[in-house]
Chain A
Amino acid sequence: MTDSHRNQVLAILYSGITSILILIIDLNLELGIAGGVPYLIVIYLMSYQKEIRYILYAAIITSILTVVGYYFSPSGGETYKVLTNRFLALLAIWSSYYYVVKLMKIQYDRIKLEKAYANELEERNAEKEILLKEIHHRVKNNLQVITGLLSLQAAFIEDQKVKNIFSYSQYRINSMAMVHEMLYKTEDLASIDFQEYLDKLVGDLCKSFRGNNSDIKYTVSSAIKLNIDTSIPLGLIINEMVTNSLKYAFRKAQDGEIKIAITAFKYPNFRMEISDNGVGFDSDTFRNSNSLGLKLIHKLALQLNGNIEKDNSKKGTHYFLTFQEITQI
């Protein structure tokens, strides 16, 4: 039984008991006393009912009881006073009925309006969601067109170095397009599962560099969700780091391994550890390089309120990046 149902049953019960008590008192009082007026309590008690018909029943029953009181109470007082008392009691009962019903109707209208407003809000939200999905879809399509155009243009370039520059640009754009593609698929359209993103990003990069039977092993672990403003720069950072590993680290293809782990760190920070077991490079190059890739890494780390360190104590290349989830308003 729900709370509102219980209240309705209790209202009927209390009204019944109250009616009987008032009737008993009325029957024991002389007619000169306005014994019917307390029936108003019954009408107000019945206002807990959701249906107006119950209040009507209460008004009819208490009116009958008022008349019963007139016939069965001990006589006393002048006739015109007795009749006036009974008439005033009936008037009070029916004016209270009118007042309670009017209040209930006002409440019904208010609830109806609130429901209509809530429905309208829901519809508007659904429309916005569709629109947002469509935008992510179109952004992803447009980014795909850009990579397509770069690829078509690259076909006319003979210099392998320049060709490669076009390829790296395509990787960067793809890392962004993947975020929009994944956001399109999410329920809240706000944040993406970074584990899934890393799997696709790193998997695609390895395949691009080494073919379908890539001999580079990679492990990614990231049980977090990140919003678009964080995912795009972080994705680009990882894209640069993994691309660098695949380009330079593994001179001998065998046993190449890339590891990425992102964990929630001291709030509001996250920590990413990314490493390869390749040939590595020195810290000076890392800090003062002219390469676009490394410059992007430093700049994008700043964009994430982050700090990047290179650990030279281990074989290969090891980075530690602490960063925060960014929300641009």
Chain B
Amino acid sequence: MSTKPILKVHNLKVYYPVRKGFINLGEPQFLKAVDGVSFELNPGEVLGLVGESGCGKSSLGKALLRLQEPTSGKIELGDSDFLNLHGESLRKIRPQIQMIFQDPYASLDPRMTVEATLKEPLEAHQLWDKNEGPKALNQILDRVGISNKSLQKYPHEFSGGQRQRIAIARALVLKPKVIVADEPVSSLDVSVQAQVLNLLKEIQKEFNLSMVFISHNLAVVKYIADKIAVMYLGKIVETGSTNELYSNCQHPYTQALISAVPIPDPKIERGRKRIELRGELPSPINPPRGCTFHTRCPIAKDSCKISPPELKPYQRESWQVSCFEVK
């Protein structure tokens, strides 16, 4: 494969300093939200980033757009060293990577019309044409399924699903190469989720977009992603193609995760054996020594408590698992 990845993330870390009182005695503590994450995204590919709360997927998503500055690591966006850009040069490269946020009620400025919201990105980069502009906007709105008469309306006049479509339109307006979608359908009703998911899928194919799709909902991710990365306490524990992972995942956490997802079929549910995890999610400020998952892992051995495992290929280069018990 000679196609170069459009996004390369290398050993990304996002640590939040934790203040212990006014006078800092002893070592500074950090909340390790993202603790050394690396992955590559090829053009036209959709990476599903899954994990439960506290795994760091949202912080990772924000870091990819530098809405949260990473503590260390490297991001290559196309040919640019993304993290080393600042000020104007950073601003100018932003059109290449756009975001769709989770909450459709909070991601649109309530005091701006649809037109104002959609033309703002264009104006910010001197791409707004007074004559052709509104027509182009209507075209995009049409593509996302919002009627032409909406340009002068305000967000509160739309339903959640419609607002999310407008948010998608905004993400498309600058013709980005990469879209980071942070739980884009989690706040929507089930019957509307499918609509928006289908829209995302179509748009992704039509514009050959690369996407990082962040979600805690494994079924939703399966539908849209080509490959998956499973996160736990800031690290990727397993990554591979969607088919491989859902049919034969190797990491005990991934296995527990998949076995926990309820299936809307009573006969299947009755016959299922759930893998139960012991205990609770450890604090990301003081993660366990060794493999951070060992405190809850059903197959943990003593050797797992000593040093953390690394991502190693399983059967092929593209399938990586971080577990001592997986060969």
Partners in one complex: no
